[in-house]
C-alpha cells in the first residue's frame, strides 16, 4: 500500500516526510514525543490526521451525549431515536408500533440508514490513513484486527466484500471491519454501497422481529422508557468503569515498553563502559611492562661500560707495578 522513498519517480511525498520523522524518533529527537500508543499515527500529525481523529473523538462524545436519552425515547419516539443513533431497541420498537397501526415499515428501514451509517466512513478513512496502527489500537488485547488482516492478505476482496455486508451481524465492533477494509484499499463508493446493503439487511431483521412481537414489544419499550433515567445511569456507570480499566491497561503497557527501552539503552551503555575500562587497563598494563623492561635494558647496556672500567684500572695497576720494578 505504501512505497519506499527513492523506489520510483513520483514517490509519495507523505512517505518522504514520514521517514525523517521516524529517523528522529529512533535517534531520540523531539518528534519521539508524538509516538504515543494511544494515538494511531507515528511522528508529528498531519492536518488529515488531526481531522480524522477529531471526527472519531467527536463521534464518541456524540454517543455519550445521547446515552441518557436512549431509554426515554425508545418507548415514545423510536423512529427519532433510530435516526439519532441507530439503536437496536429503537428499530424493534418502531416496527412494533407499525404492527399496532403507528407508522410505516419503509420509514423504519430508511431511518436506520443514517442512524447506523453516519460514522462508518470515518473508520474507513482511518484505515486508509493509519493502517496497522489503528487496527492494533481498536483490536485491544485479543488482536482480532490482526487475524482479519491475515485473511485479507490471503483472500483479498473475497473476504472484504462479504465482511462489510455482514459486519452488523458479527459479535465484534463494526469499526474493526471498516478499518481493515480501508487499510486493504477498498474504494469509498464500493464501501458505501456494501455498507448500505448490510445496514438494510440488519435493520430488516430487527424490524421483522419487532413487527412479529407487536404489542408485547411496545409494552416492553414503554416500560423501559418509564424507568429510563435509572437505566441510563446504570449504563453510564458500567461504560465508564470499562473505559477507565481499558485506559489504565494501555498506560501500563506503554510504561512497560518505555522501561524496557530505557533498560536496553542502559545495558548497552554499561557494556560500552566495561569495554572502555578494559581497554584502558590493557594500555596501563602494557605501559607498566615497558617501564619494567627499561631498567633491565639500561642495566644491560651499562654492564659493558663497567667491565671496560675495570679493565682500564687493571691495566693502570699493571703499568705502575712495572714502573716500580
- Residue range of the domain that includes 115: 43-240
Do the domain assignments include residue 6?
A: no
Q: Could you tell me the sign of the dihedral formed by the alpha carbons of 251, 253, 255, 257, in that order?
A: negative
The three grid cell numbers given for residue 196, joined into one nine-digit string: 448500505
Do the domain assignments include residue 245?
A: no
What was the pLDDT predicted at 255?
74
Nearest to 62 by CA among 70, 50, 73, 72: 70
What rounded mean pLDDT belongs to the chain? 73
Do the domain assignments include residue 11?
A: no
Do the domain assignments include residue 1?
A: no
Cβ(70)–Cβ(81) under 8 Å? yes
Question: What is the C-alpha separation between 2 and 5, in angstroms, rounded?
Answer: 10
pLDDT tens figures, 173-223: 899 899 999 999 899 999 999 999 999 999 999 999 999 888 777 777 667
Cβ(134)–Cβ(179) under 8 Å? yes
Do the domain assignments include residue 103?
A: yes
Do the domain assignments include residue 215?
A: yes
Given a cut of 80, is residue 148 above it in pLDDT? no
Sequence-distant (≥ 6) Cβ neighbours of residue 65 within 8 angstroms:
none
Do the domain assignments include residue 254?
A: no
SS3 label, residue 175: helix
What was the pLDDT predicted at 144?
62
**Residues composing the chain:** 325
- If one counts the domains in the chain, the total is 1
Question: What is the C-alpha separation between 222 and 132, in angstroms, rounded?
Answer: 44
Do the domain assignments include residue 302?
A: no
Q: What is the DSSP letter of 10?
A: T
Q: Which of the residue ranges 13-22, 61-70, 130-139, 291-300 has the most confident prediction, judged by mean pLDDT?
A: 61-70
Q: How confident is the model at residue 54 (pLDDT cuts 50, 70, 90)?
A: very high
Q: How confident is the model at residue 39 (pLDDT cuts 50, 70, 90)?
A: confident
Amino acid at each position: 500500500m505504501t512505497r519506499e522513498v527513492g523506489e520510483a519517480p513520483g514517490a509519495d511525498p507523505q512517505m518522504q516526510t514520514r521517514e525523517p520523522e521516524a529517523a528522529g524518533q529512533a535517534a531520540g529527537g523531539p518528534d519521539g514525543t508524538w509516538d504515543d500508543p494511544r494515538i494511531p499515527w507515528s511522528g508529528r500529525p498531519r492536518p488529515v490526521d488531526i481531522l480524522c481523529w477529531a471526527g472519531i473523538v467527536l463521534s464518541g462524545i456524540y454517543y455519550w451525549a445521547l446515552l441518557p436519552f436512549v431509554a426515554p425515547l425508545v418507548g415514545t419516539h423510536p423512529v427519532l431515536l433510530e435516526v439519532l443513533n441507530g439503536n437496536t431497541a429503537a428499530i424493534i420498537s418502531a416496527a412494533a408500533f407499525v404492527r399496532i397501526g403507528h407508522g410505516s415499515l419503509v420509514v423504519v428501514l430508511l431511518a436506520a440508514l443514517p442512524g447506523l451509517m453516519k460514522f462508518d466512513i470515518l473508520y474507513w478513512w482511518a484505515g486508509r490513513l493509519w493502517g496497522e496502527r489503528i487496527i492494533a489500537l481498536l483490536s485491544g488485547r485479543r488482536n482480532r484486527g490482526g487475524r482479519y488482516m491475515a485473511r485479507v492478505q490471503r483472500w483479498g476482496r473475497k473476504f472484504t466484500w462479504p465482511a462489510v455486508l455482514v459486519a452488523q451481524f458479527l459479535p465484534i465492533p463494526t469499526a474493526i471491519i471498516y478499518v481493515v477494509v480501508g487499510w486493504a484499499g477498498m474504494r469509498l463508493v464500493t464501501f458505501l454501497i456494501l455498507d448500505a446493503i448490510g445496514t438494510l439487511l440488519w435493520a430488516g431483521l430487527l424490524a421483522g422481529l419487532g413487527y412479529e412481537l407487536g404489542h408485547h414489544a411496545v409494552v416492553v419499550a414503554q416500560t423501559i422508557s418509564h424507568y429510563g433515567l435509572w437505566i441510563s445511569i446504570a449504563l453510564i456507570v458500567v461504560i465508564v468503569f470499562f473505559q477507565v480499566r481499558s485506559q489504565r491497561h494501555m498506560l501500563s503497557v506503554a510504561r512497560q515498553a518505555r522501561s524496557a527501552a530505557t533498560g536496553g539503552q542502559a545495558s548497552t551503555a554499561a557494556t560500552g563502559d566495561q569495554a572502555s575500562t578494559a581497554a584502558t587497563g590493557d594500555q596501563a598494563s602494557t605501559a607498566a611492562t615497558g617501564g619494567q623492561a627499561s631498567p633491565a635494558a639500561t642495566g644491560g647496556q651499562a654492564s659493558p661500560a663497567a667491565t671496560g672500567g675495570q679493565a682500564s684500572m687493571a691495566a693502570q695497576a699493571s703499568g705502575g707495578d712495572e714502573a716500580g720494578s
